[in-house]
Structure formats: C-alpha cells, structure tokens
Structure 1
Amino acid sequence: MGEWTDKLKGRVKETVGTATGDRELEAEGKKDTLKGAVKEKIEDAKRVIKDADDEVKGRR
C-alpha cells in the first residue's frame, strides 16, 4: 500500500509545483511518484515469486 501513497503524494506535489512554478516541489513530486512506481514493481516481483513457490510446493 505504500507504493500507492507515494504515487498519490508525488502526483499532488508535482501538480502543485507545476501550478505554482515551484520547480523544486515539482521535482520532489516526480521523485515520490517514481519511488512509488519502484515499490509497485518490487511488490509485483514478490507476488510472482510467491506464486511460483506456491505452485512448486503444490506439485510435491
């Protein structure tokens, strides 16, 4: 769930930064959005590994 929060927080910061002309806030928002995307990919990989492990255990 942390990935969703990071992505949302990043989008808000990025939007506010763009609207106000605050390039630092906009960059921080992009960083948070990217951080959330990376966390999401890690969670996806964990699920794939767990599913594969469960499948192998089920075949024994």
Structure 2
Amino acid sequence: MVYYDILCYIDVPQEDGKNIRVYLNVEIQNNPYPGYSIITRGYAYISRIVSEQWGSEYDDKL
C-alpha cells in the first residue's frame, strides 16, 4: 500500500486559453539512507499517480 503525504494539482493557464495540469507530490522522508534508490521510489509514485488517473484524465481514445 502506498500513502501520499501531499498530492495536489495546479492548473496553469496558457496564452491560448487552455490549462496545463501540473501534479505535485510531496513526500517527507525521515531517513536519508532508506536502503533503496530514491529514483526507484520516485518511479513507483509517478506510476501510481498516472494509473489512478486512468479513465478520468487519460484513456485509450486520445
């Protein structure tokens, strides 16, 4: 099970009137050497965030 500390998004207005959605995931770590690569952990969180959006923001019809 993965728990997020803070997960939110910001819609950034563009000159053409559309928005770009930027996701912000803030994780607080209390161990600077957790025994695994921080990059690997980042990939896991990014994958989870994208998969949770499947069907609501992303689908196979795009």
Q: TM-score range by the shorter chain?
A: 0.3 to 0.5
Which structure has the higher relative contact order (CA within 8 Å, separation 6+)? 1
Structure with greater proportional helix content = 1
Structure with greater proportional strand content = 2
> How does the TM-score come out when normalised to structure 1?
0.37
Looking at CA atoms only, which structure, 1 or 2, has the larger radius of gyration? 1
